[in-house]
Amino acid sequence: MKSRAIGGCIYCGDTGELIDEHVVPFGLKGDFILTRSSCRSCADVTSAVERAVLQGHLVGPRLGIGYPTRHSSDPGAMPPYPPIIGVTAEGQRMPVSFPAGHHPTLLWSPQFEVPASISGKCVSGIVVNGVEVQQISGADITIHAKDQGFASVEFPQIAVRGYEFARMLAKIGLAFAVDCFGIDHLGSPLGATVRHENPDAGMWVGQPTACPPPIARTYEVNGGLHVVKLYAGSEIWAIIRLFAPRNTTMEYLVIVTHR
Ligand SMILES: [Zn+2]
């Protein structure tokens, strides 16, 4: 799906040579394009941010949705992260085994605070409070672990690029808001956040709070693989859920404007 031509860079305002932007990265099967909405220099920045995330903690989930990665294009193949460890009642540890082609896919979601523009806290960058690990596809971990005599399981810990992930979320929220409300009405600080001119991602990106403004529009990316809801009142909010059909996945809030 393609938007109408935006005619200006949504990050820096440049109106020179403009290119199309995949709002949710192509590497996450994003199929919504914001037409003529980014200058080359900002596109270089957003590509680098997305690359850091897609080749970082989202490599596994990309494999799980059957998206080609440099590791494998076979959904259910061995994921590119350490094995899931089963722990016996006696405390013995060893990898849980799964049927070929049905290896569980894990999603690591950094847990942020409520955006500082709401909480009034002072931030630099963004604070990652923890990382939630969820299974998004493959064989049932609990059943297989139990069958193999394990009392519990331990998920592998991997490094999560919280700051780049937050900037990617900021980009997604800003781009859908521009599609819905137009570039002229926004006055959003997020362009500078995405471009890393203001290391203030924690001001605008975080976990949702109760009481959003009234709902304005829902975007379902790639048939609902990812869902972005826009809310508009005195502020515009975007609530983003990646890998939405796995309905346990975490939601993120982007404050698009603070009027
Ligand atoms: Zn630009």
CA of 83 from ligand 1 middle (Å) equals 41
Mean pLDDT of all residues in 128-155: 94
CA of 41 from ligand 1 middle (Å) equals 6
Assess whether pLDDT exceeds 80 at residue 185.
Answer: no
CA of 11 from ligand 1 middle (Å) equals 5
CA of 200 from ligand 1 middle (Å) equals 18
What is the C-alpha separation between 21 and 199, in angstroms, rounded?
22
| Side chain identity at residue 31, one-letter code | D
Q: What pLDDT does 188 receive?
A: 86
What confidence tier does 259 reach under pLDDT thresholds 50, 70, 90?
low
CA of 34 from ligand 1 middle (Å) equals 14
Of the listed ranges 20-24, 73-77, 186-190, 218-222, the least confidently predicted one is 73-77
Assess whether pLDDT exceeds 60 at residue 176.
Answer: yes
Q: What pLDDT does 258 receive?
A: 63
- E strand or H helix that includes residue 227: strand 226-232
Assess whether pLDDT exceeds 90 at residue 137.
Answer: no
CA of 72 from ligand 1 middle (Å) equals 34
CA of 252 from ligand 1 middle (Å) equals 24
CA of 40 from ligand 1 middle (Å) equals 7
Assess whether pLDDT exceeds 90 at residue 204.
Answer: yes
Of the listed ranges 36-40, 132-136, 190-194, 243-247, the least confidently predicted one is 243-247
Reported as a single tens digit per residue, the pLDDT across 51-70 is 999 999 998 888 888 776 66
Of the listed ranges 134-138, 188-192, 247-251, the least confidently predicted one is 247-251
CA of 229 from ligand 1 middle (Å) equals 25
CA of 39 from ligand 1 middle (Å) equals 4
Q: What pLDDT does 63 receive?
A: 82
Reported as a single tens digit per residue, the pLDDT across 8-49 is 999 999 999 999 999 999 999 999 999 999 999 999 999 999
CA of 31 from ligand 1 middle (Å) equals 21
131 phi and psi, to 5 degrees? Answer: -130, 125
Q: Calculate the alpha carbon distances from 92 to 24, 148, 158, 161 in Å.
A: 42, 12, 22, 32
Average pLDDT over all residues of the chain: 91
